[in-house]
Amino acid sequence: MKILIRNGRVVDPASKFDAVADVAVAAGRIVTIGDAGGFTAAKTIDAQGCIVAPGLVDLAARLREPGYEHEGMLESELAAAVAGGVTSLVCPPDTDPVLDEPGLVEMLKFRAEKLHQARVFPLGALTRKLEGEILTEMVELTEAGCVGFSQADVPVADTQVLQRALQYAATFGCTVWLRPQELYLGRGVAASGPLATRFGLPGIPVAAETIALHTIVELVKLTGARVHLCRLSSADGVEVVRQAKAQKLPVTCDVSINSLHLIDNDIGYFDSRARLNPPLRQQRDRDALRAGLADGTIDALVSDHTPVDEDAKTLPFGEAEPGATGLELLLALALRWGEDTNAGLLRSLAVVTSAPAKVLGASLGTLQASLGQLAAGGVADLTVFDPKAEWMLTPAELRSQGKHTPFAGWAMRGRVRCTIAAGQLAYEAADR
């Protein structure tokens, strides 16, 4: 489809481009940015008063297929993605069966591609069945389409196994994605502190994160492997990463929208919608995470989208399944963070576009040159949003199959008007 986006404010964090311009799209590529004279479009989108930005790249979104279709299906979750302006997403391997075989990865990618919505980049399991014992065939999984290898939320207890995994990954240039949490200290349900003590909830100390981080950093020094640290949650964790980056170690990291905006007090009176992994920590941690994202210590902001069904959430706090829906909230909450911290529009968009694309790096193959940015000749992944549009988050209106979010009832600003994925109009708001 030939599409012409007219009169929008085009903002591309990768090139620092920020100007009112037209964008012409044809054959899945951006033809031109600026004067589109002579371009004949099959569809014209008037973006007056809107921002035209690269499609969002989300580094953490569970799609729940295969195995957990009662909590989410590819159709519903990819529809949620494009409604939120997300055109590319990375999904962890903790499905059922676990993504530890090439055939499973190929099937998932095939199913996703048939829907012609957001691109899906799977992470392969680091160990078979995520049991932390036997390494998977990383080369075969990479050939099947995996962009990295992860244990999801299951720590590797045996440090020697983790060392060997990093050695294997380094040999073949693979990136290992790890959520830093020490297995035994991380068995609680809320962040250690006065609130957890008062409520009688088993706590997870900050040390559960920092001990794991120090172990990973030492193994990176030993092996030279590239590691992406998933969903930092503490001020001390940010400082460990800052020191690792100062030593020029090949590490990157992200933070979730939950940890960026909420603290442990938001649990309220045992609100299971705030039962999350990692747990919500204290205000000093949130402030450090916000500052770390602003100064580049933290590379990317993620939705940590984890749809959970009603039965699994309507349980006592400690028994409820952790997770919350987030794909449709990523843009608005990135903009909110930018306003709250004066980080600015370019940085607010960079942490959900060009920065996460840079984390993926060479694993993107031919897409590396243009994913997460706007460039003539590059892939046509765009989102058009109204930065001033205000809306109330009503869970029932979310397109995701998962309706549980701790942000329910929040007043949001910034709404997607349309999303173009690989040159196709994947989403258009009904009220345009």
DSSP state at residue 373: S
Q: How far from 345 is each of 151, 337, 392, 423, CA to CA, in Å?
A: 33, 10, 22, 25
CA-based R_g, the chain, Å? 21
Q: Residue 183's closest CA among 158, 162, 161?
A: 158
Distance CA 203, CA 196 (A): 6
Buried b (16+ CB within 10 A) or exposed e, 130-143: bebeebbebeebbe
What contacts 296, CB < 8 A, 6 or more positions away? none
Distance CA 28, CA 343 (A): 32
Q: Residue 224's closest CA among 263, 173, 180, 270?
A: 173
Distance CA 358, CA 378 (A): 15
Tokens of 155: 């720590």
Distance CA 360, CA 191 (A): 30
Q: How far apart are the first and last CA of the chain?
A: 20
Tokens of 147: 């962009």
Q: Scanning the structure block, which residue is given the tokens 């450090």? A: 288
Looking at the DSSP bridge assignments, the partners of residue 418 are 384, 428
Residue type, 379: V
Residue pair 8/52 in contact (Cβ under 8 Å)? The answer is: yes
Q: Scanning the structure block, which residue is given the tokens 């990383």? A: 138
Give the catalytic positions in this structure: 304
Q: How far from 354 is each of 87, 220, 240, CA to CA, in Å?
A: 13, 25, 24
Tokens of 27: 């054959």
- Virtual torsion, Cα 421, 303, 63, 150, nearest 10 deg: 110
Q: How far from 47 is each of 28, 147, 368, 424, CA to CA, in Å?
A: 20, 34, 27, 17
- Virtual torsion, Cα 15, 20, 26, 31, nearest 10 deg: -50
